Amino acid sequence: MRGPHNIIRLIRTGATLERTGAMNVVLDAFEAPRALRIVAHTLGKPFQWLGYKGDPNMPPATRALTALGPAYIKFGQVLSTRPDVVGDELADQLRVLQDKLPPFSRDEAMAEVEKELGQPVSEMFSEFSEPIAAASIAQVHKAKLTSTGEDVAVKVLRPGIERAFRKDVDAFYFAARIVQLFAPGARRLRPMEVIEHFDGVVRGELDLRLESAAASEYAANIKDDAGFWLPPVVWSLSARRVMTLSWADGIALGDNAALDTAGHNRPDLAERVLRMFLLHALRDGFFHADMHQGNLKVAANGDIIAYDFGIMGQINEYTRRVYAEILFGFIRRDYKRVAEVHFEAGYVPAHQDVDEFARALRAVGEPIFGMDATHISMGRLLNYLFEVTERFGMETRTELILLQRTMVVVEGVARSLDPHMNIWEVARPVVEDYIKKSIGPRAALRDFGKTAMVLARFGPRLPALVENALIAQTQKDEPTPSRLWSVALPATIGAAAGAALVLLLTTFG
């Protein structure tokens, strides 16, 4: 979608940024060079009258993005997960971005439901309320199933939202190309990477089948976690543009007065929300990456209920082990081990000095651990840690940034419930338990068993793989006995070891 609409949209965007006072905030956050600042102000200042006024009670950046509409609101939300790109100050502003827009009508929502699910609303729902919550991409209605009388929540995408997003995302790509043209050496901008990341997030959120699948997987993982619950997906009434969940009443986790009135134990809730996040991140590698108070409620029985599964974090098992060892090392104040883990994982280039890195980590950790326990912040520690690792040449790792951002949000939620909470004392048993199960002789044997199973599956193909390798070596140059054995022996030993271990595991259970 190339054309004059991109230029017009960018001029209006620049005009809105200028009019709301957000232009310099954004340029400073991105450390934009002089050439880009000149272009931005040239596009913005002469056309300020074209810009949207926005809500003057909001901070400049959130005021501008809210005024520009759904795609810009969502862009701000995604950027709030990337403090590596926009800096901590702007990320904090964007993190509290109000994701609220005027709702579309109940009739339009019912028409979308009928079109998507292929049935009259009256056959599916005996009641269908006015919208109870409206966000940038979708809104939610309370309904009652005709078949069972059960209350459900029906999430419906905004009509035409896909086309609107594609139009704005196309303009974002156009802007990214302009940035690259005028600021090719801007280290922290990485405009195309940012827009591609945003594009991927939005594509996922515009298909509610993916959110339903994420909710279902998350529910399966946490089904035995006492005190934490997810409303189940009603699959028969969910599709690409409609998602139906069982209804769950509760008190917002941010409403301390209501929680106290209902007799809930706020310190217990604070510990549980932090413990559950760490448990899901370390044990499952699949965690709710938007765990602010608006997405968490407390049921009458004290269970924490989670909602909104559009942004989920995923980290592989190896990264989880690295993350756990880093946390565990800081808990024990073993900075040399934390440094070694960074080098072993390849996070810090091998040419750096491990002892110097360990001293830099000590400079991060000791001031924090010297504080009163109630002031120790895991989020602050991770922020400082990333500053140090950047100095030592660590490349940005998106999965760790999302994990860090969620850790900061969850810590904030926990602190709002119990300001005197000792974050590290709550985290210690979860991290220690994961370390015991995932690092050590038992874990090594389990890993070896998994490797053996893979080798066993490839067993029937190993002779052909060895033969192909030998043929390739022959075609490359004349084979010698040593060359032949260097190819054939590892494969043969691997196959034999795999078969033997599988036999042992099968025999002894």
Rounded Cα distance, 423 and 427, in Å: 6
Rounded Cα distance, 303 and 299, in Å: 5
Cβ-count burial 196-215 (b if 16+ within 10 Å, e if not): ebbbebbeebbbbebbbbbb
Q: Is 465 left (phi over 0), alpha (psi -120 to 50) or beta?
A: alpha
Per the annotation, the verdict on 255 as an active-site residue is no
- What DSSP string describes 55-106? -TTS-HHHHHHHHH-HHHHHHHHHHTT-HHHH-HHHHHHHHT-----PPPPH
Residue ranges with strand state E in 238-389: 242-246, 251-252, 286-288, 296-298, 304-306, 312-314
CA 186 from chain center: how many Å? 25
Catalytic residue of the set 290, 355, 418, 477? 290
From residue 56, give the alpha-carbon distance in Å to each of 72, 73, 354, 442: 17, 16, 50, 59
Residue of 349, 359, 360 whose CA lies nearest to 388: 360
- Which residues make Cβ contacts (< 8 Å) with residue 143, sequence separation at least 6? 125, 127, 128, 129, 151, 152, 153, 154, 244
Give the phi and the psi of residue 348 in degrees, each rounded to 5.
Answer: -110, 135
Helix (H, G, I), strand (E, B) or coil at 419: coil
List the structure tokens of 249: 């009443």
CA 21 from chain center: how many Å? 30
Angle at 88 between CA 191 and CA 79, to 5 degrees: 40
- Residue 42, judged by CB atoms within 10 A of its CB (0-12, 13-18, 19+), counts as exposed
Residue of 192, 198, 189 whose CA lies nearest to 81: 198
List the structure tokens of 31: 């450390």
Q: Which residues pair with 297 in a beta bridge?
A: 252, 305
Q: Catalytic positions, please?
A: 290
